[in-house]
Amino acid sequence: MKTASANTSGSIMDVFERGKVVKICAPMVRYSKLAFRTLVRKYSCDVCFTPMIIAADFMRSVKARDSEFTTNARDRPLIVQFAAQDAQTLADAACVVAPFSDGVDLNCGCPQRWAMSAGYGACLINKPELVKDMVRHVRNQVENPNYTASIKIRIHKDLRKTVDLCQKAESAGVSWITVHGRTADERHQSVHYDAIKTIKDSVSVPVIANGDIKYLRDVESTHQLTGVDGVMAARGLLANPAMFAGYEDMPMECIWDWVDISTELGTPFTCFHQHLIYMLERVSSQPERKMFNSLSSTSAVIDYLKNTYRTLEDLGT
């Protein structure tokens, strides 16, 4: 576990006091790792999440801790997201990462079958008493009073169940709640903004909206529709890591920032390449994408970028 020194001078909750919608990078398996968090922070992202980490594996194995959680002094504010199925394991994991992060988040939203069958993710929205207990354990066992305990959920078809879950979490001391505005069965259906608004109106803690945030204008429209305190983006940031800074299209300097950051941090080629595939998808032709996707080394990628996108105009920006 490669980590930075503790920072206990203030609370991440201060970001909600600035009167602006908080802009957050979502937890994304394989993608929201240190290098990508470093990139989006350069382009007006306020808070970043780690990818989801299975708390039991994290506590069981030093190798898992070293591979799953890497950070540095610039990587703040940082929320570590865990998948857990019991309160003590979550609290134990939170105590391990607390000196090196600003909060932990309990994943109650992953809809994948393997996660739900193992007792993780979206199945937890049907276990409000367990979620309440998990939040309380983190709050009681992490010594830093500024350390946050949040949850990320999906909604029920019967929204009363979701409101009950959120109110129980609030009573246990949850710091904020992120709401992905779809049920566990929905994938590409429209986000239920009315449901997010109902949840926001039912609790007094900050609420974050998640789902279909592809441009900066989506941040404002979601805020207007729901009244939320923050907005979390996933795929929109993969396609355009500069989105939160107001760029409609990904700027060429963002490509070179990614090359520099990932090289500096020793990002494995597969991850380095895959991020660029996402970043170039909107701005390159099909033949260009086919050629780029076939590249198999960092040097080949850099040569291709230099030869293909010499100027900002080449990217159409």
Which token pair is 29? 């398996």
Q: Specify the 3-state DSSP secondary structure of 316.
A: coil
Q: Nearest-CA neighbor of 261 among 271, 247, 250?
A: 271
Determine contact, residues 122/116, Cβ cutoff 8 Å: yes
Element (H, E) at 231: strand 230-233
Q: Are strands 22-25 and 177-180 parallel, antiparallel or unpaired?
A: unpaired
Sequence-separated (6 or more) residues with CB below 8 Å from residue 300: none
The alpha carbon of 41 is separated from its chain's Cα centroid by a whole number of angstroms, namely 12
Q: Is 110 an active-site residue?
A: yes
Tell me the backbone φ, ψ of residue 256, rounded to 5 degrees. Answer: -70, -30
Tell me the backbone φ, ψ of residue 277, rounded to 5 degrees. Answer: -60, -45
> What's the rounded Cα separation, in Å, for the pair 30 and 270?
10
> What's the rounded Cα separation, in Å, for the pair 100 and 2?
10
Binding-site residue positions for FMN? 27-29, 81, 180, 234-235
> What's the rounded Cα separation, in Å, for the pair 120 and 180?
16
Determine contact, residues 94/104, Cβ cutoff 8 Å: yes
Catalytic residue among 25, 45, 48, 110: 110
CA distances (Å), origin 242, targets 73, 134, 237, 294: 22, 35, 7, 25
Positions marked catalytic: 110
